[in-house]
Structure 1
Amino acid sequence: MDYPLISAVIPVYNRPDQCLEAVKSVLAQTYRPLELIIGDDGSEDHTLDVIRSFLSDYEGDISVKILELDHSGFPGAVRNSCVERAEGEFTAFLDSDDLWRPGKLLHQYETVHKDHPDCLISHTREEWNRRGKIISQAGMDHKREGFIFTDALKKCIIGPSTVMMRRDLYRETHGFRRDMEIAEDYEYWLRLTAVYEISFLDEPMTIKRAGHGDQLSEKYGQIEIFRIRGLKDLVDQTFFTVDLQKLAARELSRKCSVYGRGCMKRDKEEEGQEYLDMAGYYEIIATSPSSLS
C-alpha cells in the first residue's frame, strides 16, 4: 500500500542540543514517506551550525528543508512558514525541545488516519519529563477525543508535538496566530475543536520535556494571561456559534475573575480591577439571551 507523504515541522530558536535530539527522533521514524522542515527563527547562537553539521553526514531517505527566518519570537509564525513549504498530505508538529518515539508517526497514521479517512486531526498521549523525572498524568481526566471544545476551553489539552493533521485543514483554518508569543496553541485548538472532532491515540508516543529555563512558560512564570487574551479575541469577534459563544464567554469570565483576584492579592489593584470588570462583562454575555441575537 502507498502511504501519503507526512511533513514533520520543527520550529527552533537558540536551542542547538535539544533541537538536534528532536531532529534525530524524526529521522528515526519508521514511517515512510517523510519530509522534515526545520524553521529557524533567527537563532543567534550555533543552532544551525550544529544541525547542518549533523545533516551533512545524513544519508537517509528523508528530505530535509531548513528555513532561515528573520527572528519574530512567535512560534506560530515559524510553524506557518514551514507549512507553507510543506508538500505532505499530512503535517506533524514537533517542538524543538520534545521528542517522538520511533513508531510515533506510523502508529498514529495506521491506527487513526488510515482506518478513519475522514479524520482530519489527531493527537497522542504524552510522557511528561521534567528535568529527567517522569511526571504522572493520572489526575488528568479531561476529554481527549470527539467534540472536546468544553474541556479545551479550560486549558491547553492538546500538545503541539502530538498532533498530526491534514495540511489542507491547516491552511484552510490559517494555522496558528502569528502574533502570540505564548498560548498560540491553546487559541488554535479552540478554533479547531469548536468545529471538528478530534481523534486520540491513547499511547505515549511523544515525550514532552519541560522545566528548562529557555521555555517561554518558564520565562513568564505563568501563561493564563496569554490564554485570556487569545480567548478574549475569539469571543470579541463572535467566532463561535451561539451556544459555544456562551460557554466561551463564561470560561473567559471565570479566567478573568481568577486572574483579577490574584492581582489584588499581589497588590496590583488597578490591573486586578480591570480584570474583575472584564469578568462581569463577559458573564453578562454568557447569561444574556439577547446578547448574540
Structure 2
Amino acid sequence: MLLIAYNQDRQIADAIRSALAQTYQPLEIIISDDASSDGTFAAMQAAIAGYHGPHRVSVRRNSTNQGISAHLSQLAQMAQGELLFVAAGDDMSAPQRCARVVECWLQHGRRPDLIATDLADMDEAGNVHEHMSPTRLDDYRSFDDWHARRPWLVGAAHTWSRRLFERFGPMLPGAAAEDQIMVLRAILSGGAVSLHEPLVRYRRGGLSRKRRYNSVEELIARMRQSNRYGLAELAQLQRDAEIAGIGERMREAMAPKLAREQFIHAMFDARGWGERARLLVGSRDVKLGLRLRMFLYASCPAVYAPGIWLKRIVRKNGR
C-alpha cells in the first residue's frame, strides 16, 4: 500500500489507522510525506508509534515536493509486492480493501493490471454519505474505447500491478493526477476491471476539491498551473503510446487538446500585446472563444475582477 500525503496533518492519522487495520497478509505499507509545510510528517510518526501488528510499515518523507505522479512512481520502485494499492492521506480504506481486491485479481487469473473499486462519499467530519461508482472499466478493451469515452475515475481507489511500471517505467514528473495515465496503461496491457464495492472512504474537501478564488491573480495562477499539468499529462500519454506501438494514433487523437494547451502556455508567456495579438489571430486550430478569453486573461485581467468580486459576495451571503 502506497499511502501518500501532502499538507494533511489533520487527516493523515485516520488514513494510517485504516491502512494498519487491513486484514490481508502479507502487506507492506509505505507511508510517505511529499515535503509538507505543515505537521504531516510528525503526525505520521505519531500514528505508527508503538505499532506491533502484522504489517511491515515504513515512514519516510521527500526533501522536496515531487507531485503526485512522481511521488507514486518513486514509491512503486521501492515497494516489493505484485499489487500496489494507492491510498491518499485524506481518505480511509475499509479493513477488507486489500483482501477483496486480491481476491478479485486472483479470480481474474492475475490478468488485470488495474482494479478500481467504488467509494463512499465522506464529508470533512468523517460522516459517510452516498455510494460513488466510477465508470465500469471492464468494457474498455482498446485505445479506441478509451479515446471515445474517457472514463470517470478516482485514482485513490485504484490498485495497479507492478507490470505497469516494468513495461512503461516511472511516470514523468509534473502531472497533477495519475488516474487517466495508469488506466490507459492498463487498457493497453492486461486490462482494467471494476470491483463494485465501496472500499475507500473518499473525503470531500481534500486536495482535489474545487477551488474558490479571491482575486484574478489567484485564478490566473491556478490556470497556469492547470496548463502545466495538462502539458505534462499529454507528454506522458504520448510516451506511453509510443511504448505500446500506437504513437501516431495518440498524436492524432490528442492534437486538438495539445494545440489548446500549447496556445494557453504561449499566450501567458508572450512578451507584450503585439505577440499576444499575433497568437490570437494566427492560432486558427484553437477555438476563437478560448483564444479571446486567454487573450483577455493575459493582457487585461482586470476585466474579470468584478465577476470574481460578485461571486465572493454571493458566497458570503449564501452562508
TM-score normalised by the chain length of structure 2: 0.67
Q: Tell me whether 1:12 sits opposite 2:5 in the alignment.
A: yes
Looking at structure 1, the residues matched to 79 and 16 of structure 2 have their Cα atoms a distance apart, in angstroms, of: 17
Partner of 2:55: 62
- Whether the 8 Å CA contact 1:260–1:276 is kept in 2: the answer is no
Looking at structure 1, the residues matched to 228 and 204 of structure 2 have their Cα atoms a distance apart, in angstroms, of: 20
Corresponding residue to 1:209 among 194, 203, 214: 203
Residues 138-186 of structure 1, C-alpha deviation per residue, up to 9 Å, x if partnerless?
Answer: 7x66655442645544556332222222224323321332232x13432
Secondary structure, aligned partner of 1:218: coil
Letter in 2 for 1:117: R
Structure 1 residue 84 displacement after superposition: 2.0
Structure 1 residue 249 displacement after superposition: 3.2
| Counterpart mapping for 1:104-123 below 5 A | 104-123=97-116
Secondary structure, aligned partner of 1:66: strand
Looking at structure 2, the residues matched to 16 and 105 of structure 1 have their Cα atoms a distance apart, in angstroms, of: 24
Aligned CA distance change for structure 1 residues 133 and 23 (closer, same or farther; 3 Å) = closer
Letter in 2 for 1:177: L
Unaligned runs of 5+ in 1: 1-7, 262-267, 281-293
Aligned CA distance change for structure 1 residues 136 and 203 (closer, same or farther; 3 Å) = closer
* Larger displacement relative to structure 2 (155-164 or 11-20): 155-164
Structure 1 residue 192 displacement after superposition: 3.3
Q: Tell me whether 1:190 sits opposite 2:177 in the alignment.
A: no
Secondary structure, aligned partner of 2:36: coil
Looking at structure 2, the residues matched to 19 and 274 of structure 1 have their Cα atoms a distance apart, in angstroms, of: 49
| Counterpart mapping for 1:28-43 below 5 A | 28-43=21-36
Q: Percent same amino acid at aligned positions?
A: 19
- Whether the 8 Å CA contact 1:126–1:204 is kept in 2: the answer is yes
Structure 1 residue 189 displacement after superposition: 2.7
CA RMSD across the alignment: 3.9
Partner of 2:311: none
Partner of 2:252: 249
Corresponding residue to 2:154 among 138, 156, 159: 159
- Whether the 8 Å CA contact 1:183–1:227 is kept in 2: the answer is no
Question: Greater CA radius of gyration, 1 or 2?
Answer: 2
Looking at structure 2, the residues matched to 30 and 170 of structure 1 have their Cα atoms a distance apart, in angstroms, of: 26
Looking at structure 1, the residues matched to 240 and 45 of structure 2 have their Cα atoms a distance apart, in angstroms, of: 43
Residues 37-65 of structure 1, C-alpha deviation per residue, up to 9 Å, x if partnerless?
Answer: 01211222221212212211212111111
Secondary structure, aligned partner of 2:198: strand
Looking at structure 1, the residues matched to 156 and 129 of structure 2 have their Cα atoms a distance apart, in angstroms, of: 17
Number of matched pairs: 265
Looking at structure 2, the residues matched to 25 and 269 of structure 1 have their Cα atoms a distance apart, in angstroms, of: 54
Secondary structure, aligned partner of 2:211: helix
| Counterpart mapping for 1:1-293 below 5 A | 8-131=1-124, 134=129, 137=132, 143-147=137-141, 149-150=143-144, 152-153=146-147, 155=150, 157-180=152-175, 182-212=176-206, 214-215=207-208, 218=211, 220=222, 226-227=229-230, 229-231=232-234, 234-235=237-238, 239=242, 245-246=248-249, 249-250=252-253, 253=256, 277=285
* Larger displacement relative to structure 2 (243-252 or 66-75): 243-252
Residues 94-115 of structure 1, C-alpha deviation per residue, up to 9 Å, x if partnerless?
Answer: 1112221111111111123355
Aligned CA distance change for structure 1 residues 58 and 39 (closer, same or farther; 3 Å) = same
Aligned CA distance change for structure 1 residues 236 and 69 (closer, same or farther; 3 Å) = closer
Looking at structure 1, the residues matched to 239 and 110 of structure 2 have their Cα atoms a distance apart, in angstroms, of: 35
- Whether the 8 Å CA contact 2:112–2:190 is kept in 1: the answer is no
- Whether the 8 Å CA contact 2:28–2:56 is kept in 1: the answer is yes
Unaligned runs of 5+ in 2: 213-221, 265-275, 289-319
Higher helix share goes to which structure? 2
